[in-house]
Structure 1
């Protein structure tokens, strides 16, 4: 039986703070186990990617307890900020780092903090035996930005579960944004755009954690009140499981106004239900959106552009023919969406290579 040690963030199972990265980690570990791998999980609590010395020591201790030569899959949130822990570990362990989001891509970082995290990540990824990215776009960017050998960087896009078709409303006005309320997800831009659409019929549900950035959440709430949208915007908090399924089932359009995304799992989750997507043209979002025989199942606009987002929303809300075209494309895209089985096979292929590891080069 093949064996892998998986080092995950300590909050990977926190239902109060769901994230695409945590769900990805969970599905991959479960899929590897179902495929016959012996998966030993080692959740590591800490303030990643900027842990205290004590937290770094705990990670180093977890790695030290792994037998020599055993393959290790470590979440990039844990590994990328601590090259001084990764570098000695790879002298005796083949280690694959799973990058969900490059550290410096988090919106709102000061320039000096972003540069520091970027440099740390470069060291960690150059030391790693292999790197797994969650989209082809991210894999290519890591190769170019960090100067990594292309044959060490692999893409394993997130899968999506089949889901029943959502039943659209006549007006198309049920908008849904699934994302933690943070500067990177740019809910402030969405609220500003919605503020220009008071003459149209719509409601918008924000489904995502409200405690990641208290100051930003307060800003978004102030904007809602300033535009008089309190009766039309609902903050549902984090949703998971059946509650999230119900949110998608009740949606006409998913809106994702992010400043940065490596893929955008919520995009494919919406498309699995035949729900079109309005998102920003950043990172791997175009890859997730894809294209079907009936056309692109949504629309991409520039990030941070309130006017462009408002124009796209107005077109959706006022043009019934456009809504039907995008719904047809979304329904067609359902048949071509990636599966979790494919994700697990891609990751397992990288881990199989680690089992052949003969030591650092």
Structure 2
């Protein structure tokens, strides 16, 4: 009999398919992972404002959702409880994508002995993410409860794993790292020399910020850096959404940076690939990162990256050689790094090959295989103990 996996905490499926929901890398992660998991399991996703799946092995339970960036996960948590409870006799494993949704899994394990695996994508209890010390303290306590009973904890990066072990005293044997998947650039992409010719008359350096427009991604520091570069042949393209959209527009108007900063909104799929091919540099001056796959995708196109040494970024810089590291919260240092790329913005072919090989190693297929092995291990252990689900 085919095993049944319940996925909780994913706000939208597929990721970025709803204008009402503030999606993030986590929704993309689930969307890509399910493409492979559906061949191994029956899957139910409890999510929000999502279309009914047309695939036999995937069931989508779509719920209402309210609020902004911080309150949408809370809304989804409350609406998800009853549907999850109704499925208790059909589920072999719960995979929760946030510690908050993990509270549901925690209760279902205590009441009905259903095993669960927590996937952790970010430093969720940081004050930069929650917006206040009170919320951080509450979320830290939620994490402690959920991690205490989880059968396994899957971290997206090594820095995040070490943080959880230190903060919550988790047994290292219960926590594993499976990086988000990625894929190499297809053969036939423009060479660095072709890209140089294509950009030589475009009016200056094109710098791309690709991510959520929130404080912890360092977007305000980046705006300050662009203010320092006013008058230089540099243009910043901002792709993404988030709670700082209005602030950014006001900043652009206040400092008359309309010729230097352009907001593109959400860009994904083929449009994202096309955008990456059209710019010279990818930049993100984050306060927190886990394992930013977007950096590797840019490098594989021959596009250098400017980033802060947070999460696994320093490790990625060492492995690839194509990431310029700048201090956190340092607009001046960021401006200098951007200026330094004005006349040298194409990576050498050897570095591009290194990045593409690294991407092959962490392809979605490889990462899905690791996830399936982990899920099967957890379910088999519960079955061998005679626990019924």
Q: Into which bin does the TM-score normalised by the smaller protein fall?
A: 0.7 to 0.9
Distance change >3 Å, CA 70–CA 132, structure 1 → 2:
same
Unmatched runs of 5 consecutive residues or more in structure 2 = 49-62, 66-70
Shift of 1:60: 4.7
What do the CA deviations read for 1:327-346 (whole angstroms, capped 9, x no partner)?
75244322222211121122
Instruction: Give the equivalent residue in structure 1 for 2:25.
Output: 20
What do the CA deviations read for 1:163-220 (whole angstroms, capped 9, x no partner)?
25452434871111101211122211111111112343221110001xx31xx32222
Instruction: Give the equivalent residue in structure 1 for 2:234.
Output: 202
Q: With structure 1 as the length reference, what TM-score do the two structures score?
A: 0.86
Unmatched runs of 5 consecutive residues or more in structure 1 = none
Distance change >3 Å, CA 87–CA 19, structure 1 → 2:
closer
- Which aligned segments of 4 or more residues in structure 1 are displaced greater than 6 angstroms? none
Trace 1:34-113 onto structure 2 (pairs within 5 A). Answer: 34=39, 36-43=40-47, 45=63, 46=65, 47-51=71-75, 56=78, 58-67=80-89, 70-76=92-98, 78-80=100-102, 83=103, 85-91=104-110, 92-105=113-126, 106-107=128-129, 109-113=131-135
| Separation in structure 1 between the aligned mates of residue 108 and residue 262 of structure 2, nearest angstrom | 47
| Separation in structure 2 between the aligned mates of residue 254 and residue 10 of structure 1, nearest angstrom | 27
What do the CA deviations read for 1:4-24 (whole angstroms, capped 9, x no partner)?
222242423343444211110
| Separation in structure 1 between the aligned mates of residue 152 and residue 293 of structure 2, nearest angstrom | 23
What do the CA deviations read for 1:263-283 (whole angstroms, capped 9, x no partner)?
113212212322111111111
Q: Choose from 305, 326, 338 the match for 1:277.
A: 305
Tell me: higher relative CO, structure 1 or 2? Use CA pairs within 8 A at least 6 residues apart.
Answer: 1
Asked if the contact 1:252–1:276 (Cα under 8 Å) also holds between the matched residues in 2, the reply is yes
Instruction: Give the equivalent residue in structure 2 for 1:222.
Output: 250
> Does residue 178 in structure 1 map to residue 210 in structure 2?
yes
Shift of 1:250: 0.5
Instruction: Give the equivalent residue in structure 2 for 1:243.
Output: 271
Shift of 1:70: 0.9
Instruction: Give the equivalent residue in structure 2 for 1:114.
Output: 136
SS at match of 1:96: strand
Q: With structure 2 as the length reference, what TM-score do the two structures score?
A: 0.80
